[in-house]
Amino acid sequence: MTDVEPAAVRAENPDGPLIASIRVLTCGSAEQHIEHRYGSKLPRLWWVLFGRRWVPLPLQAFLIDHRDGWVLFDTGIDPAILSDPGYIRQAVGRILLPWIFRFHLTDADRIDHVLAAQGVDAEDIRLAIISHLHFDHVGGIAQIPQADLMVSAREWSILSEPHPEREWILREHIEIPSAKWQQIAFAPSEDPLFEGFDGVYDVVGDGSMILLPTPGHTKGSLSMLIRREGWDPVLLVGDLTYDAALIEKDVVPGVGDRKTLLASYAKVRALKERLPGLTIVASHDAAAAKEVARATGTAWDVEMERT
């Protein structure tokens, strides 16, 4: 693991736009408690054990066609979490997981198969940006061993804490021999656009993909701002929220640090005020594909959303 300068990925399309497309990848689906999505005044363990209202939870990643090569934002979930009894080593985690989520997964939902359905070979992924280290966002890293994996230094530091598994960060599926992890350190920016954020990170040095710290869901969660001439800017916020509309209403999920989430919400809202047309896209938002299509001027229909 090393700190890095802006990443260099091999040039694949030197004459095209910096970013040709953003694709929303469906990596299975699940259900979560309604309190998980919208928050609750009740203790978390109460609604986990006794909550009876469930809502759909799409499991999604994002594929960016950058001039320098294919880039993933998150890598989805590993379907083995359902088929392998030892996938979660901690007994408490194995017991609690089905009380928290109802997963609907097949082998086709593994990231290499999802990419193949898009006509992309997993071996051609050059870089994966990891919004945070939860198992449903790093579940495909074993399928892209050639790719650099970028994560915030603060997020990576959770692995040094006594029990990262209590935050659903599973060391055994993160610190794998093939993974090419790179910690990123956010640097101060003089750009007034990013006022309020604790630094920025320009992924490839061309301004098309900017990482921003948006903690709250986890201690080191990040978001990625994508910009291209002719598009509305797109902000991929990971699990900062499960529904982008809730940021405007200050409705935080039932997991995470409420105070930190609200602070990140305020920064995102301020960014939206300074950046006209900004489209906020959450990783588990059912409207993600439609919103990305609208922002990029791409045709959208129900079948597209399912791919």
Homologous superfamily in CATH for domain 2-297: Ribonuclease Z/Hydroxyacylglutathione hydrolase-like (3.60.15.10)
- The pLDDT value recorded for residue 289 is 97
Residue 100 has pLDDT above 60, yes or no: yes
Q: Tens digits of per-residue pLDDT, 159-185?
A: 999 999 999 999 999 999 999 999 999
Asked whether 234 and 73 are in contact (CB, 8 A), the reply is: no
Annotated domain spans of the chain: 2-297
Coil vs helix vs strand at 159: helix
The whole model's pTM is what? 0.92
Q: Which long-range contacts (CB under 8 A, 24 or more apart) does 115-121 make?
A: 115/25, 115/63, 117/307, 118/23, 118/25, 118/63, 118/307, 120/63, 120/70
Give the pLDDT band of residue 304 (cuts 50, 70, 90): very low
